[in-house]
Amino acid sequence: MSRDFYKSSILPYAGIIIKICRAYTDTEEDFEDYYQEVCLQIWKSKDRFQDQSEWSTWVYRLTLNVCLTLMRKSKKQKSYESNELSPGDQKEENAQAISDESLNQLYAAIRELSEIDRAVILLYLEEKSYQEIAQIMGTNPNNIGVRIKRIKERLKKKLDGKVN
C-alpha cells in the first residue's frame, strides 16, 4: 500500500474507521487488527469502487462489512480459546484504551447491541443523514428513524439514567 494512497484515501476517514472498529472489538489488540484489516481491504478493493456512491460512503460500508466478518470469525475463534482469557479481562483491557469514562460506558452499551444496531447508531452519532445511513446499510430510509429511536431508548436503559 502506498503512503500516498493511505494519506489521501484512508487517513481522512481514519476517525470513523477507528470509531467503528472500537465498537466491534473488546481488546486494544483486536482493535488494531480490525483497523489494519480495514485499511488493507480498502487498498485491495479500491479498484472495485464505482462512482455510484461517494468514496466516504463506500469506506463506511466496507469498514462495517470487514468488522462484521472479523467479529463472526473472532466469535468462532474465541469459543475455541474460551479458557485462555475471561470476558472480564477483555473488558478491562478495552476500558484502558479510552480515558473518557462516559465514552467508555457508552461504547460498552453500544457493544451490547446487535451487530446491525451498532452500525446504525454509529452512523447516526457521526451525524449521517437517514438517507446516507440507509444507503450504507442497504435499507429503506423510512425504517432508519424508528430504528434509531428504539436503539437510543435501549442505550439509555443500559446506561441506567446516566444520560438524558
Binding site for other proteins (CB under 8 A): 1-2, 6, 11, 14-15, 17-19, 29, 31-33, 35-37, 39-40, 44, 77, 98-100, 102-103, 105-106, 125, 152, 155-156, 159, 161-164
Question: What are the DSSP calls for 111-133, one per residue?
Answer: HTS-HHHHHHHHHHHTT--HHHH
51 or 100: whose CB is closer to other proteins? 100
Nearest-approach distance from CB 33 to other proteins, in angstroms: 6
68 or 159: whose CB is closer to other proteins? 159
50 or 164: whose CB is closer to other proteins? 164
8 or 138: whose CB is closer to other proteins? 8
Cβ burial of 72 (10 Å; 0-12, 13-18, 19+) is exposed
> CA 160, CA 164: separation in Å to the nearest integer?
10
Nearest-approach distance from CB 103 to other proteins, in angstroms: 3
Nearest-approach distance from CB 101 to other proteins, in angstroms: 9
Residues 103, 118, 33: CA angle, nearest 5 degrees: 80
Contacts of 146 (CB under 8 A, 6+ apart): none
Nearest-approach distance from CB 71 to other proteins, in angstroms: 15
- Alpha-helical runs (H) found in 24-140: 28-45, 55-80, 87-95, 101-111, 115-125, 130-137
Rg over CA atoms, the chain: 16
> CA 120, CA 144: separation in Å to the nearest integer?
8
91 or 152: whose CB is closer to other proteins? 152
Nearest-approach distance from CB 146 to other proteins, in angstroms: 17
